[in-house]
Structure 1
Amino acid sequence: MTDRTTVPAGRRAVCAAAGALVIGLLLGSCGGGDEPPAAASGGGSTPAASAAVPEGNAKPLPKSPPKTLSIAKLGVTAPVSPLGLRPDGRIEEPPLSRPNLTGWYKLGPTPGENGPSVILGHVDANKKQAVFYRLKDLKQGDRIEVTRQDGTTATFAVTSKQDVDKNAFPHKKVFAETLDYSSLRLVTCGGAFDASTGHYKNNLIVYAKLVQSA
């Protein structure tokens, strides 16, 4: 369970929900079958190479749900749908039938708001590439844009990425870290593919911070 003792009162609901997740099964069906598409690696454990250092933090935006996620470097433009928790406490995930759909964890901040916002996506689905197939290729300084329902666009710059065993997923850091700026976390499957379970063993997490809003 997540330790809530250091989380401000206004954030405890988010932290409690994050701590309730069965993160070992986060995006567990990323494979969508008994094997990934040809040459798929499902993520990468190599640290992001140094690139342009992201600018300073931009002023956070008011609450507004996300509509579209765009990553120019990867050629990604994808709709964003809200995700909550299943009755068993696991986080919902985008349906495999819509491989280009991403999902925003609606119990946390909206992208552009102060704090960590989380968007999930599959690496592959039904043996075909999905929206976050190339997420491992992002480097420090690469841009991620999120258009919001209020018409504004929040632009984030990648700061780091992390490939972690699903059983050691950093719940608090991803879902409920106490921050004084707006941050985005993109989460997908990573690491080796386990043919016996049909799932990837790890989760790949990309961390980014807000550098521009308009």
Structure 2
Amino acid sequence: MSGPTPSLSRMAVTAGAALAVFCGVLATGSALSGESASGVIPAAATPAADASPSSGAGARGGQPSFAVAAEPMRASKPVRLDIPAAGVKGAPIEAVGLNADQSIEVPSLERPELVGWYRHRPTPGEAGPAVLLGHVDAYGEPAVFSRVNRLKRGDTIKVGRADGKVATFTVDALERVDKDAFPTAKVYGATDSPELRLITCGGDFDSATGHYEDNVIVYAHLAA
């Protein structure tokens, strides 16, 4: 995308006590509904970090999963990411949390290959929705998630974990959503089965505001 250094850090929202999501600033809070804040591309607020899983195997914000996932794995921090269909190979992953203003920490633009794992959600492979976020570009150059919008149903995502195991996910769906219509419950709602969400910026870049207009979200389930 063209424009003045578009990045993840240009996405924010408030929800209840006011937290933010990504293009971004990913947010967490006790409420699911969100109201846009000024500054960055708004997306959505996440459920509280201690939210209990919704009932029903594979439920996602009260909705069934796209496919039956494999049995959950034990918790283990993610360390690298491979997405062959998106040209991502061995991308390093680091945990991100919340800043003092309750916005999510995002990977540094100085390291455009870096992926952030939101540590207040499950680790990839555990029951629940693991959330990974990455820049689409940085300083006018493609970043780690620059080709995520090309993913299709059935594509493979592999997450290497600190325990030496690899959580292999299969893509169920990809959607591009307007920043004001982010599907909060579907993305962040607790699930009983192991699922994965990738989040980045998308759509047109508005040079007047310095923001992308949309978010790109990938949904996947644990296959092996």
Query: Deviation string for 1:114-172 (max 9, x for gaps)?
Result: 00000000010000000111111100000000000011100000000111122222223
Q: 2:112 aligns with which of 96, 99, 110?
A: 99
> CA 1:55–1:101 in structure 2 vs 1: closer, same or farther (change >3 Å)?
same
Q: Which amino acid aligns with 2:169?
A: F
TM-score, normalised via structure 1 length: 0.74
| Bigger RCO of structures 1 and 2 (CA < 8 A, at least 6 apart) | 1
Alignment of 1:16-55 (within 5 A): 16=29, 19=32, 28=41
Q: Is 2:190 the partner of 1:195?
A: no
**2:51 aligned partner:** none
CA contact (8 A) 2:67 2:221 kept: no
Q: 2:85 aligns with which of 67, 73, 84?
A: 73
Q: Which amino acid aligns with 1:67?
A: V
**1:11 aligned partner:** none
The separation in 2 between residues aligned to 1:126 and 1:24, in whole angstroms, is: 24
**Which segment drifts farther, 106-115 or 87-96?**
87-96
Shift of 1:17: 5.9
CA contact (8 A) 1:22 1:89 kept: no
Shift of 1:26: 10
**1:43 aligned partner:** none
Shift of 1:24: 6.2
Contiguous gaps of at least 5 residues in structure 2: 1-14, 17-26, 42-65
Considering fraction of residues, name the structure with more helix: 1
How many residues are treated as equivalent by the alignment?
A: 175
Contiguous gaps of at least 5 residues in structure 1: 3-13, 29-53
The separation in 2 between residues aligned to 1:154 and 1:23, in whole angstroms, is: 34
The separation in 1 between residues aligned to 2:152 and 2:39, in whole angstroms, is: 23
TM-score, normalised via structure 2 length: 0.71
The separation in 1 between residues aligned to 2:212 and 2:78, in whole angstroms, is: 27
Q: 1:128 aligns with which of 138, 141, 149?
A: 141
RMSD over aligned CA atoms reads 2.5
Task: Specify the SS of the correspondent of 1:174.
Answer: helix
CA contact (8 A) 1:24 1:168 kept: no
**1:145 aligned partner:** 158
Shift of 1:22: 7.6
> CA 1:98–1:131 in structure 2 vs 1: closer, same or farther (change >3 Å)?
same
Aligned residues: percent identity?
47
